[in-house]
Amino acid sequence: MSRLLPVSLPTNSAAATVRRKMETGSQAKAVILPDVCERKLIGTTPKASKAECVFSDGTSILVSSLLASVLRTGDEILFPVDVAGANTEIFVRRHSKERTQDVFQAQIGCVSQPRRDKRGSLFVSAEVLGRRLGISAVNLRCEALRDHFFAANRRQPWSRQPSLYELLRVGPKVSPTDLRVAFKLRMLELRAERAPVGEVRGAERAFNILAHPELRACFEALVNDPSSAAVFPHGGFGSLIVAGERSREGSVFFASRVLSFVPERKFRDFAAPLRRFEFQNEQAIYRDPRRKLEISFDRASLPLAWDASWNRWKHFLRAKIGLKATFVQNGGYRRRGTGWQLVTWESAVPSRIEVALPAGIGEHVIQARDTYHRLGQLAEPLDQIRARIDSAPVEMGDLAELCAKSGISDGFDIALITWKPEYEPFYYDELRKRARRVFLFRSEYIFDLEKAVVVEKPLPGHAAYFFAKPLNMSDFLALYTTVTRKEILQNRRNVAERLGFLGCLVHGRNLRAWLEELSRRLSEPL
């Protein structure tokens, strides 16, 4: 939408500047907006999925079919000169004789929580990101949010609305798991009946509202009291088209009706480690602080027999599940010190979540639970072994002998002695299979490779330290245990030179890129 056709607009200063008159009391005030065009519409023509707006001066632009459907001949349209992209701001001023509402299209950011205006009416305020037309905020009445986002049938008044529960053929007390099952069955029925697209989208919208705890509570409050506060789903962030009127000074658009809202969406396909899940009684939540992602699962979307007790030993789960999901931008303002800071993240759309469990997931779960139980039984002998490696590096073979003398069976994984819950096993596994020997020292793993020595600290956000292959490993360890990482980085007393320090390989988001860089540093074929 909103790109210039070959009959592009003039680029002279007259076309790039609009003198707009607005009524302020009994006086007319002229406001100059640079780089803004004002044109009079004479007609629209469909162009594939969009529409061409033709103006009285012979120029034209492309807009969405939905926006074109509300345009009328004679409308005055304001838009930036450099029209490009689907998020272009467009203000439609209706002809004075028609007495209909103006229309405003813009890309919005964060939307505030509901509050009351001077008349006591509830509204929310959405910030306009571009502000190319001088409008910095859109104030939406909560009734408009209710009728657009929480209505089963947007063509009917709220008093005659069917319940969202009725669309999915469930009761108000349905559990999250049963709700998802009912949604899947309803979608199968609608596809078998070849139902209209609007009916299918309505059922999906109903599920996405009811599957979100905050939005479900908001809907039920509106059912009990239609005048109660309505929240903007996910806090805003998307392309908004509204009908209403502009304030007298021109910086605020008061919207009484939402015509369309398309959130910012992004499809992601990735593997999520189970150790990063938070398991609750009715739902499991996955959060990725690096990607700023959040996904909520019910028992139907994550088919594992989990409960809250999994949180005690989940850090021993090495398994990852495949996730495919559509995410929408989410956010809000949080107080930081004396000011406010915008915090954003991405939330998965409940209806667009696909989970692929790895083979043998049940065995992984049993093994992690047993490991947690065994570490509890072996707490005292393991404390003695940890005290040993706190004073000097010990090779894993020697540690295995110590474990056997302490009554710890051969099947125990020695690496768990210093394992940290948030550590990514990928780094350890790749270095371990290349190592001739592995030493445990305090909370570190020291890998003796063929061409180098790599020291790995099992914590997220850290880096692997690379050292040249020493002539004598015992001399290297004797010196390494007397210095700190800070001293190595600063080369105090030339310790970096004496150890043969070659640099760091930081743990990043892209595990494949880390592995490729490791192969390059070790002169391995990619």
Percentage of residues in the chain having pLDDT higher than 70: 91
- What's the pLDDT tens digit per position in 15-32? 444 444 444 333 334 444
Cα(244)–Cα(94) distance, rounded to whole angstroms? Answer: 11
C-alpha dihedral (87, 125, 336, 214), degrees to nearest 10: -90
Q: Are strands 137-141 and 252-263 parallel, antiparallel or unpaired?
A: parallel
Give 9's pLDDT tier (boundaries 50, 70, 90). Answer: very low
pLDDT greater than 50 at residue 60: yes
Q: How far apart are CA 206 and CA 186, in angstroms?
A: 11
Instruction: Give pLDDT tens digits for 195-211.
Output: 999 899 999 999 999 99
Question: Is 192 exposed, middle or buried, given 0-12, 13-18 or 19+ CB atoms closer than 10 A?
Answer: exposed
Maximum Cα–Cα distance across the chain: 96
Residues 6+ apart with CB under 8 A from 350: 180, 207, 208, 211, 212, 296, 301
Segment 320-371, tens digit of pLDDT: 999 999 999 988 888 777 788 888 899 999 999 999 999 999 999 999 999 8
Query: Which pTM does this prediction carry?
Result: 0.80
Task: Report how far residue 255's alpha carbon sits from residue 123's, in angstroms, rounded to the nearest whole number.
Answer: 10
Residues 6+ away with beta carbon under 8 Å from 307:
279, 281
Q: Is the per-residue pLDDT at 379 higher than 50?
A: yes
Residue type at position 419: W
Asked whether the beta carbons of 126 and 236 are under 8 A apart, the reply is: yes
CA distance 522 to 503: 13
What integer pLDDT is reported at residue 412 of this predicted model? 79
Q: Which of 490, 489, 484 is nearest to 506 (CA)?
A: 489
Q: Return phi, psi of residue 133, to 5°.
A: -105, 10
- What the block records as the tokens of 217 is 């509570």
Which amino acid appears at position 240 of this protein? L
Residue 320 has a pLDDT of 93
What distance in Å separates the CA atoms of residue 87 and residue 260, rounded to the nearest whole number?
13
Partnered with residue 30 across adjacent β-strands are: 21
pLDDT value of residue 27? 38
CA atoms within 13 A on the CB side of 327: 22
Indicate whether 6 pLDDT > 80: no
CA distance 366 to 153: 48
Q: All domains of the chain, ordered by start, with CATH?
A: 1-146+237-263 (no CATH), 265-363 (2.40.50), 378-521 (no CATH)
What would the mean pLDDT of 458-477 be, rounded to a whole number? 91
> Given its phi and psi angles, is residue 169 left (phi above 0), alpha (psi -120 to 50 degrees) or beta?
left
- Band the pLDDT of 95: cuts 50, 70, 90: confident
Which two structure tokens, joined as six digits, stand for 444? 């570190």
The 10s digit of each residue's pLDDT in 125-145 is 999 998 889 999 999 999 999
Other C-beta atoms closer than 10 Å to the C-beta of 66 total: 15
Bridge partners, 288 (sequence order): 293
d(CA 400, CA 414): 7
Best CA proximity match to 303, nearest among 363, 247, 355: 355
